[in-house]
Amino acid sequence: MSVRVLHIDCSGPFASLMLAIDSIPQAVKQSAEARDHASQLNPMIAALLLEVGYSLNDMDAFAVCSGPGSYTGLRLGMAAAKGFCYALDKPLLMHNRLTLMLEELDSQLEVSNLNRLAILPARAGEYYIAAQGEWEAAPMHILQNELVENTRFWTQPASIIGHLEEDFSIPNVKNLIPHEKLDLNTWAKRTFLSFSEQEFANIAYAIPEYLKAAYVNPLKREK
């Protein structure tokens, strides 16, 4: 029996959807306007389902990119996925963008004894990272000086996927692979494996992985 999963990613500037059957992407949609997830997500879902001839109830599970990324976008994507799971009694699959980036990187490497780093900019001098090799780091938020301190002792070459600031470099980097959006083949394979092993999230307690506290401007008191 085939496994149909609707994937929702609102972590970046553009919302994107993918229907995968087993581990193979079947249909993809991306929003036309940046940072307009709220108005575009549901119409995109309706259009994708119409295109492939399935309903929401035909899905065996819903997968969401849990972060890091846009604070508002992550909340919208998570709310949509959880709402479908609650209403239709379907399981929820959550995948971290940085973990998926490392899996994408691994699929492109010819050797496995390299240090591997997935990295995305957060704010000036701040990053979201995940690392494997001589330094093991689960997805986290890190300051630039802390990143330098943790990578300066690498003795093996490193492969990096993601983005570095122009004035910042990491020594002993063998290759740097740019990252603009999630690799759909990687995500579909991970989702199918997660579904097969029943690695389902607890819908009631599932929250976006912001990896850092939100910056909030305090309200000004009225005089």
pLDDT tens-place string over residues 104-128: 999 988 777 789 999 999 988 899 9
Q: Specify the CATH number of the domain 4-96+182-196.
A: 3.30.420.40
Is the pLDDT confidence value at 213 over 90?
A: no
List of residues 6+ apart from 19 with CB closer than 8 A: 4, 5, 6, 7, 25, 26, 27, 28, 48, 49, 52, 54
Domain pair 4-96+182-196 / 98-177, same fold = yes
Q: Where are the alpha helices (DSSP H) in 60-108?
A: 71-88, 97-108
> What dihedral do alpha carbons 124, 32, 67, 103 form, nearest 10°?
-100
The pLDDT-based confidence of 223 (bands split at 50, 70, 90) is very low
Identify any residues that bridge with 67 across adjacent strands, giving them in sequence order.
96
User: Tokens 């990053």 belong to which residue?
Assistant: 127
Q: Regarding beta strands 158-162 and 115-121, do their DSSP bridges make them parallel or antiparallel, or are they unpaired?
A: parallel
Is the pLDDT confidence value at 132 over 70?
A: yes
Share of the chain above pLDDT 70, in %: 95
CA distance 208 to 186: 20
Domain spanning 98-177, CATH architecture: 2-Layer Sandwich (3.30)
Domain ranges of the chain: 4-96+182-196, 98-177
Whether residue 111 contacts residue 219, with contact meaning beta carbons closer than 8 Å, is answered with: no
pLDDT tens-place string over residues 174-194: 888 999 889 999 999 999 999
What is the pTM (predicted TM-score) of this model? 0.92
pLDDT tens-place string over residues 196-209: 999 999 999 999 99
